[in-house]
Homo-oligomer: A and B are copies of this chain.
């Protein structure tokens, strides 16, 4: 999932990827206390590499450890999820600005093609929130890497997105507003294509702000319980 590009793929990498996807997909429920031996038998690992992977995951904030007391998946409250969106707002705003300054013409063309594919997916699989989420993820992923800011991309792709995706899977029934989001995506790409970094940043911040308010509203209405 992450280090497949590396020539050799170590057991610890395997453990890391397995656990990460398991957590993100919700197969390991937040707050659930998990034993090491249980994980070992589940993923065919031994405790050495497993513990190394646990260290990495703890460092990324996906789980918490208490010495001699075990490991449990992190549980994020509603308010903490909102805080994550506030962070995304400023960081992805920066990413969009730098992407506008640095993406190649080819990358921008690919990005536009991605949006077209996304539009087809919305038409064909109406309400299939899963594919919508994947399309959305792809869009933000491309802009993060397009920023050419290594650390920024690392923080977005390695830390924030996994935590957000945790919730995408859990309450996968619709982030709602797919057409609206697509429109916002198009305008962001337009700004990037025109190399208008300032506008791209503004539009991206507003886009994520809207997504946050959408979720906030649903939580208040009790449609989404966390």
List A residues at the B interface (Cβ < 8 Å): 6-10, 12, 48, 51-56, 58-61, 66-68, 80, 83-84, 86-87, 89-91, 93-94, 98, 149-152, 154-155, 158-160, 163
Of B12, B52, B87, B152, which one neighbours A83 at CB under 8 angstroms? B152
| Number of copies of chain A assembled together | 2
Q: How far is the CA of A74 from the CA of B48 in the complex (A)?
A: 25
Of B60, B67, B86, B149, which one neighbours A59 at CB under 8 angstroms? B60
Contact of A151 with B80 at beta-carbon distance under 8 Å, contacts A55-B53, A59-B56 already known: yes
Chain A interface secondary structure, helix, strand, loop or mixed?
helix
Q: A61–B10 contact, CB under 8 A?
A: no
Of B52, B67, B98, which one neighbours A6 at CB under 8 angstroms? B67
Closest to A65 in B: B10
Q: Which residues of B contact A89 (CB under 8 A)?
A: 94
Closest to A67 in B: B8
Q: How far is the CA of A59 from the CA of B59 in the complex (A)?
A: 7
Q: How far is the CA of A12 from the CA of B67 in the complex (A)?
A: 11
Query: Smallest distance from the beta carbon of A226 to chain B beta carbons, Å?
Result: 15
Query: Smallest distance from the beta carbon of A113 to chain B beta carbons, Å?
Result: 28
Q: Which residues of B contact A94 (CB under 8 A)?
A: 86-87, 89-90
Of B9, B55, B61, which one neighbours A154 at CB under 8 angstroms? B61
Q: Which residues of B contact A60 (CB under 8 A)?
A: 59
A–B pairs, 30, beta carbons within 8 Å: A6-B66, A6-B67, A10-B67, A48-B51, A52-B52, A52-B54, A52-B55, A53-B55, A55-B59, A56-B56, A56-B58, A56-B59, A59-B59, A59-B60, A61-B151, A61-B154, A80-B150, A83-B149, A83-B150, A83-B152, A86-B94, A86-B149, A86-B152, A87-B91, A87-B151, A87-B155, A89-B94, A90-B94, A91-B91, A155-B155
